[in-house]
Amino acid sequence: MTLTILCALPLVGALVTALTPVGGGRPKQIALAFALLTLVEGIIVAIRFNTGDSGFQLTEDVTWIKAFGAHYALGVDGLGLLMVLLTVALVPIVLVAAWRDTNRSSFFAWALALEGFALVVFTATDVLLFYVVFEATLIPAYFLIGAHGSIRGGSAGRSWAALKFLMYQLGGGLVLLAGVIALYVESAKSSSGPSYLITDLQKLDLSTDVERWIFVAFFVAFMVKAPLFPLHTWLADTTEMASPGTSVLLVCILDKIGTFGMLRFCLGLFPDASQWATPVVITLALISIVYGAFLAIGQDDLLRLVGLTSLSHFGFITLGIFAFTTQGGSGAILYMVNHGVATAGLFLAVGFLLRRHGTVLISELRGQERATPVLAGIFLVAGLATLGLPGLSQFVSEILVLISAFDYHWWVGAVAVTGIVLAAVYVLWAYQRVFTGPGGDASIAPGEIPAVRDLDRREIGVLAPLVVGLLLFGFVPGPLLDLANPTISSLMKHAGVSDNAPVVAGGK
């Protein structure tokens, strides 16, 4: 029942928060309490997890819809555990970050609901259960964007961004549904009858054409969710119109479902089709890396800029997955975690900047580092992590992915490297324009109190764990690799792939 409790806590918390009368901040306090309880439960799951085992652990299996072979089945492997820990760590940070932004209990309730659904997605070992909750995540996401977005774009802008997000995601979900139905048809032909359990579906002997078509259905849905070029156009509008906290929930947690699904289902269920599609997928990943970086360079809005950097980063993650090497796969999983931490830091730092100035347009911000040196420093650290500075967490991830890219073909690695160069351009140029130079409070005299205050203790407390994570995982990535390596080794074995690259040593 450990995983059921883990998933149920935020969902119960969402209901209690929504029903609690507004007043005295009680809904916010209740929401934070449930988020912290979920974090504790996530830590308990991690403690009970056996690092050396590549299979599903802490499993639960109850028949759900017998006629369809559907089960309420949960379990975690290294990949799932890392996504669970990322989720339960980020949600309390988002709630505290939004503490003074709104008194509406619905924001905190929807945030908890999104957390609960995401946890079910990351622990589901039944494809139908995964699909149902995969679609359910859109409900809280839609209301978080449309009803609790940034005030800059007005209600019309928020509504349009929420609708665009929903249409893209529903479109991908409908394509995924076709693949889910096809799996039922194929599994029903087996002697044991229909089943949606991942362990049963891995044993199916699918024809080449059927496997490829089902793979396409799953991959298209995950392309939208991730996102990847050319199904990415909802991303920038969403991050511009959503609140920074909502953007963290969407980009750092919800979008990970896309790359999580590529590993869990595309490689796990359709390994031959995945290898067949590799040239096309790697091409799309490279386009995402370079195109996303160029788009980010051209942005004047900091929230759009941070959002578009993720197009480039998800390209790196996808490249690592479909390079079909142990190092690439481990790097991709590590990248998913490190991207979540670094991008959360950027979004929240930009949110604190927005609260002080009412704008995040680069053209309207100058010389902020004198008035807000701590904010400037934390933004710079998160930005340097994003561009892969050695010593910060994302460097290890990018090195592993780049090794796999060069192992696949030299030109793939050469193109991917340009993404790191371009990342340095969009991060450092944005920092220079916003925080350095004349303007803002740069003209204040020594000892004079600036008009704009630096981060307070609560805001520093929000960002400090993220900075610690960036430094810790940069110097000590071993524990994360210990969780990622068995999962990747198992997937490579299932795909019949034996590469020459050794499994990256973890902390043991």
Closest by alpha carbon to 307, among 220, 257, 379, 242? 242
Kindly give, in sequence order, each residue whose CB lies less than 8 Å from that of residue 429, ignoring residues fewer than 6 positions away: 297
Q: What pLDDT is stored for residue 188 in this prediction? A: 83
d(CA 61, CA 84) in angstroms, rounded, equals 19
Supply the angle between the helices 78-97 and 326-357 in degrees, to the nearest 10: 10
- Take residue 240 and report the two structure tokens written for it: 């511009």
Count of CB atoms situated within 10 Å of the CB of 364 = 13
* Residue 186 Cα distances to 153, 158, 169, angstroms: 48, 42, 26
In order along its 508 residues, the chain shows pLDDT tens digits of 889 999 999 999 999 998 888 766 688 889 999 999 999 999 999 999 988 777 889 999 898 888 888 899 999 998 999 999 999 999 999 999 888 777 678 889 999 999 999 999 999 999 999 999 999 999 999 999 887 766 565 677 778 888 888 999 999 999 999 999 999 888 888 767 788 898 888 888 888 899 999 999 999 999 999 889 888 888 888 888 888 888 999 999 998 999 999 999 999 899 999 999 999 999 999 999 999 999 989 888 888 899 889 899 999 999 999 988 888 889 999 999 999 999 999 999 988 888 887 788 888 887 777 778 888 899 899 999 988 888 888 888 899 999 989 988 889 889 999 988 898 898 888 888 888 866 555 444 444 445 678 788 888 998 999 999 999 988 888 888 888 888 888 888 877 777 655 445 555 4
Question: CB within 8 A of 35, min separation 6: which ones?
Answer: 10, 13, 88, 91, 92, 95, 112, 115
Paired with 53 in beta bridges are none
Q: What is the pLDDT of residue 363?
A: 82
**Domains in the chain: boundaries:** 270-443+451-508
The DSSP output letter for 503 is P
HSE value, Cβ hemisphere, 13 Å, CA-based, for 191: 1
Cβ(463)–Cβ(345) under 8 Å? yes
The answer to whether 384 and 427 are in contact (CB under 8 A) is: yes
Dihedral angle computed from the Cα positions of residues 410, 411, 414 and 419, in that order, rounded to the nearest 10 degrees: -130
C-alpha dihedral (115, 118, 123, 125), degrees to nearest 10: 150
